[in-house]
Chain A
Amino acid sequence: MSNSPIDLFVGLSAVLTGVDSSKLAPLLDPVDIKQTYFNFVQGKEPIAFTQLLGIFQQNQGQDPATIANIIFNQSGAAIKYLARSIILMWYLGSWYEPATLQKYNSPNPPPPPVPSAGVISADAYTQGWAWNVAQAHPMGYSNFTFGAWSEDPPTLADFVGGNGGQS
């Protein structure tokens, strides 16, 4: 993998989400949601995002748990909550401002639910990884064929790649 910003973003996202990078960014990728997300985060948090990608670049040879520890415990609040926002973005297709996440993780948080800044795009709604991890599909959108509801879904490993998130 190269050290281009988009490749670093995919590598970072694989570590943050636990989803194989070949699933997040297939070789042939007509939807190209990774680029949508990259552009979105770049527009929202340009400074922290560049720092986060830099941290990942320096540590990408480490195992995922070590990288996670560096991001979440050793890099400051701006990086920590941006990483959380990115996780939520991949899973829910929605953007949660890092500052909002931080506020809700304080000793006296506002009452739930945590407000979202909105679904990032129509494609983002259909591409949320929460649905894949549930071996399901978003409400109102399914690629499965007629009658799929009466059959077992594909395995979790089929959806997320690797060993299906088993350690």
Chain B
Amino acid sequence: MKTAAKTIAIAARLTLSLLFLAPFVRLAQPQSPTVPINPTVNNCNVTRPDTPVTPALLTSGLPCAVTVIQPITLDNLQKAFDFYSWLTFIALNSPAAGGTIGKDAPTIWEQFKESQDIMLPDGSSPPPWGAPPIRPSKCPNAPAGATVLVMVGKTPNVLTESVQPFLTGPLIDQQGQYVHYEILVNRPMFEFIVQNQLYNQQGQAKFSGTITFPIGQVTSGSTGTVGSIMIKAAWKILDPKVDDPSRFHTAKVLVYQAPSTNPKIAESCSVATVGLVGLHISHKTQVEPQWVWSTFEHVDNVPTQSDVNSKKLAKRYNFYNPACKNCKVNDPPPRPWDPNAVPFPGGFKSQIVRVVNLMDDVNKLNAQFQGILKGTVWANYKLISTQWPTDGQSKTDPNGVPAPTYLANTTMETYVQGTTPQASSSCIACHGNAATTKGKTSDFTYILERAQSAK
């Protein structure tokens, strides 16, 4: 009897598990043995920010921390952080298969773990590092290992990937297509979450003390540790009739729309070729416990307000129509937002303008790095800025008094650009509010808020 009851209980639990896992199919993966969360590396990129920008930098590697030089002034430090951002961009966009950045290929960061593959609907332990992305069951014929982009939109009751650009509205390109997003983390961050069981609510409840993700640092020479890195990427569906894929870093992905009841949205899945239009890279380091926030965009995205005012406009942009005189600028699309209804009904296309100009020093640095990347798709990306804490140890400002105070990527903080306290985008100020499901501060990541209860 006992055995029969146990069998029934196991069957019931299996059935329940399958129900909770219904939208996703996951192959059983052996769990990797415990590995060091943040192992020592001996190839930290410690290039000084006053180093001439030459092709030698294309193979200089990933910085474990920001290298700064005298004098310690706001402008000089900003230059150092921006230089660090470009080195990081080059390192993380280098081919995953090895070699130097150049020919368009799957990148190192695209091999990081997607957040929807960490915070699973049933709160179970995520597949180990290196396992292929979890494939929604709606996508039966998907290419093996394809990245899964979960659609922008309000999709309650379903574990969604990202609601960028926040809940203020989706971003619609000039072909009427929604922009898609993904969030990924590197291995130290992933292992910290897994080994501390922060991937479900029970684990978060059990965790004592303050959540402190691994830090990047240089301990001596080029030896150190790579800290936690979070990536947020924005992708545009490429239209072969209009878009020139040779201008973008591209990927063949699954565009998955989770079902929703309010608003009513059907589950869907399709394969698409997408082009990278926005990239956030945040890295936690010893001196910057509020993380360092670098953000890049495709050069064709939008004009600045100054460009518009002075009528110095390009022929076309990804998210702005120079010929449209009556389009409302920086206005979210009208509801309803149904990502299955594309092109967007009524012919709506986002008309986006960059509100805050890039700093002159950033423009100069962009030109230098684009110069060494000339002839590759990567020359079509530009740094917007790097936000960093000017007083990382401040007792009265846990955000560390960020510089610049505000920072927005037009593909991700589209509708919250500007310089108004609390209303305009600041990476650190926003992420400083992040918490776990148990109300504990979560060290500047919202990923932990997505944890479900273990079944």
B405 at the A interface (CB under 8 A): yes
A144 to B432, CA, bound (A): 8
A49 at the B interface (CB under 8 A): no
List B contacts of A145 (CB < 8 A): 398, 432-433, 435, 441
| A28 and B74 contact, CB distance less than 8 A | yes
| A140 and B435 contact, CB distance less than 8 A | no
- Say whether, besides A26-B391, A28-B74, A28-B403, A146 and B422 are in contact (CB < 8 Å): no
List A contacts of B254 (CB < 8 A): none
A30 at the B interface (CB under 8 A): yes
CB distance from B348 to the nearest CB of A (A): 31
CB distance from B33 to the nearest CB of A (A): 34
B390 at the A interface (CB under 8 A): yes
- Say whether, besides A145-B433, A146-B433, A28 and B396 are in contact (CB < 8 Å): no
Q: How many A-B residue pairs have CB under 8 A?
A: 64
| B395 and A141 contact, CB distance less than 8 A | no
A29 to B433, CA, bound (A): 22
A65 at the B interface (CB under 8 A): no
| B434 and A28 contact, CB distance less than 8 A | no
B429 at the A interface (CB under 8 A): yes
CB distance from A159 to the nearest CB of B (A): 5
| A31 and B396 contact, CB distance less than 8 A | no
| A143 and B74 contact, CB distance less than 8 A | no
| A126-167 residues at the B interface, CB under 8 angstroms | 126, 132, 140-141, 143-148, 154-155, 158-159
A3 to B432, CA, bound (A): 38
| B405 and A28 contact, CB distance less than 8 A | no
| CB-CB nearest in chain B for A157 | B395
Q: Chain A interface secondary structure, helix, strand, loop or mixed?
A: loop
- Say whether, besides A30-B390, A30-B405, A126 and B395 are in contact (CB < 8 Å): no
Query: How many residues of chain A are within 8 Å of chain B by beta carbon?
Result: 23
A95 at the B interface (CB under 8 A): no
Q: Chain B interface secondary structure, helix, strand, loop or mixed?
A: loop
| A29 and B74 contact, CB distance less than 8 A | yes
| CB-CB nearest in chain A for B422 | A141
| A34-67 residues at the B interface, CB under 8 angstroms | none
CB distance from B16 to the nearest CB of A (A): 32
| A26 and B401 contact, CB distance less than 8 A | yes
Most interface-central of B74, B396, B420, B433 (chain A CB within 10 A): B396
- Say whether, besides A26-B391, A123-B421, A146 and B401 are in contact (CB < 8 Å): no
B252 at the A interface (CB under 8 A): no
| B432 and A30 contact, CB distance less than 8 A | no
| A106-123 residues at the B interface, CB under 8 angstroms | 122-123
List A contacts of B251 (CB < 8 A): none
| B74 and A30 contact, CB distance less than 8 A | yes
List 16 A-B residue pairs with CB atoms under 8 Å apart, sorted by A's residue number: A28-B403, A31-B401, A122-B421, A126-B421, A141-B421, A143-B396, A143-B397, A143-B432, A145-B398, A145-B432, A146-B434, A147-B439, A147-B440, A155-B395, A158-B395, A158-B396
10 additional A-B residue pairs with CB within 8 Å, beyond A147-B441, A148-B398: A28-B390, A28-B391, A122-B419, A122-B421, A141-B422, A143-B432, A145-B432, A146-B435, A147-B439, A159-B396
